[in-house]
Amino acid sequence: MSKKRPIKKLLTDIHGEGIITGLYTMLILTIIFFIGIDIAGYTSTSWKLRNTCREALTLMKIENGFDSQIEEFFYDVAETNGLDIRQLDVSGTPKPRQRGDVLTVRASIPYNLRSIRPFNRQIIVDIDYEISGLAQQYVR
């Protein structure tokens, strides 16, 4: 009498229970795969938002504050990074600031979790990012 491997035994069971178990296992693995894709998308979007905020803060440090030109620059960099600028919200410490004052950029964008949709649920999570730095030039 030969020993059957557990997986082969599971799939060749006489009563058909093995096939049902295999299908449920595939369903669960598919759901885990979709959730993993959502986690990767969330991480990628937050990374893009962080880099965009860093670029804007670098310009704000030189100019001693946030104004409409820096806001346009922020949206241009965000669009280059692949973010949807229609959903993006940004604010910063307004001009003018003296050297050594704290400058802050705050940005947020909603992220739609798509892996929950097959369960007839729509969950939107906000990705918020805030970064601070010091103004670099004296204002006379």
- The sheet with strand 102-113 has its strands ordered as 89-92, 102-113, 123-134
Residue 41 has pLDDT above 60, yes or no: yes
Residue 36 lies in a domain: yes
- 135 in Cβ contact with 106 (< 8 Å): no
Residue 116 domain-assigned? yes
pLDDT tens digit sequence for 83-127: 999 999 999 999 888 888 999 999 999 999 887 776 677 888 999
Give the per-residue pLDDT at 140: 65
Q: Which residue has the higher pLDDT, 61 or 122?
A: 61
pTM of the full structure? 0.77
Q: Report if residue 139 sits inside a domain.
A: no
Q: What is the pLDDT of residue 136?
A: 81
Q: What is the pLDDT of residue 88?
A: 94
Which residues is 137 bridged to in the sheet? Answer: none
40 domain-assigned: yes
Query: Is 45 inside any structural domain?
Result: yes
Q: Please, which residues have CB within 8 angstroms of residue 133's CB and are 6 or more apart in sequence?
A: 57, 58, 60, 61, 102, 103
Burial grade of 114 (CB within 10 A; 0-12, 13-18, 19 or more): middle
pLDDT at 23 over 70: yes
Give the residue numbers spanning the domain of 95.
Answer: 6-134
Report the alpha-carbon distance of residue 129 to residue 50 in Å, rounded: 7
Number of domains forming the structure of the chain: 1
